[in-house]
Amino acid sequence: MSRAIYPGSFDPVTFGHLDIIKRSSAMFDEVVVGVLNNNAKNPLFSTKERKEMLEESVKEFGNVEVISFDGLLIDFMKQNDISVIVRGLRAITDFDYELQIAQSNRKVSKETIDTVFLTTSIDYAYLSSSIVREYASYGTDVSDFVPEFVVKRLENRFQQ
Ligand code: ADP
């Protein structure tokens, strides 16, 4: 059975992420969306909130599970018998960093892990969680970028 993990911060999940999840769910038997537990980095939403928004977003896919994880991605993968990482590539600016991570993960995992890159749909090429946070913080409508329940959470967060 093919299992892949799509790791990220998802602070918050956007339509760009959901496009990658949808496409990878058609490619692999099971997809685990891995929410990095990086509260130390001071994200806008807690790990629990980010996970809840993802769970709501992936309900329609029968083979996608959302988990949160700490520590090294490849350790988590070994423990859970996952050998493929999915990452999205938006622009050339993503490439340097992603190449370095993919190559080092391959080396450190003794060549047991591979990374698969999906190129973003043109519709979402410009989209990032940080852009969504920035617009939402000024009260701008972000419903073209994220699902409605994420819009609501952003509104609540910035009203506080
Ligand atoms: P990270 O903090 O690991 O970069 P993100 O939540 O920002 O986590 O992104 C997770 C993954 O989703 C990364 O592979 C990133 O390139 C990809 N991604 C983010 N936004 C988009 C988008 N608009 N289209 C396609 N892929 C995207």
Average confidence (pLDDT) over 22-38: 96
For a mutational test of ligand 1's pocket, the pick from 57, 89, 128, i.e. the residue with the most ligand atoms closer than 8 A to its C-beta, is: 128
Using alpha carbons, list the distances in angstroms from residue 14 to 70, 81, 82, 95, 109. 22, 27, 24, 20, 30
Predicted local confidence at residue 1, as pLDDT: 84
The protein residue whose alpha carbon is closest to atom 22 in ligand 1 is 16
The Cα 58–Cα 131 span in angstroms is: 22
User: Does the pLDDT value for residue 157 go beyond 90?
Assistant: yes
User: Does the pLDDT value for residue 74 go beyond 90?
Assistant: yes
The protein residue whose alpha carbon is closest to atom 26 in ligand 1 is 88
Residue 109 alpha carbon to ligand 1 centre in Å: 22
Average confidence (pLDDT) over 64-85: 96
Single out the catalytic residue among 41, 59, 110, 143: 41
Predicted local confidence at residue 60, as pLDDT: 94
The answer, yes or no, to whether any atom of ligand 1 lies below 6 A from the CB of 10, is yes
Task: State the chain's mean pLDDT as an integer.
Answer: 95
* Predicted model pTM: 0.94
The answer, yes or no, to whether any atom of ligand 1 lies below 6 A from the CB of 9, is yes
Per the CB < 8 A criterion, the answer to whether 142 and 13 are in contact is: no
What is the helix (H) or strand (E) element at residue 143, kind and residue range?
none
Residue 9 alpha carbon to ligand 1 centre in Å: 8
Tell me which of 88 and 160 has the higher pLDDT: 88
99-143: per-residue pLDDT in tens?
999 999 999 999 999 999 999 999 999 999 999 999 999 999 999
Single out the catalytic residue among 24, 25, 57, 129: 129
User: Does the pLDDT value for residue 86 go beyond 80?
Assistant: yes
Confidence grade of residue 93 (pLDDT, cut at 50, 70, 90)? confident
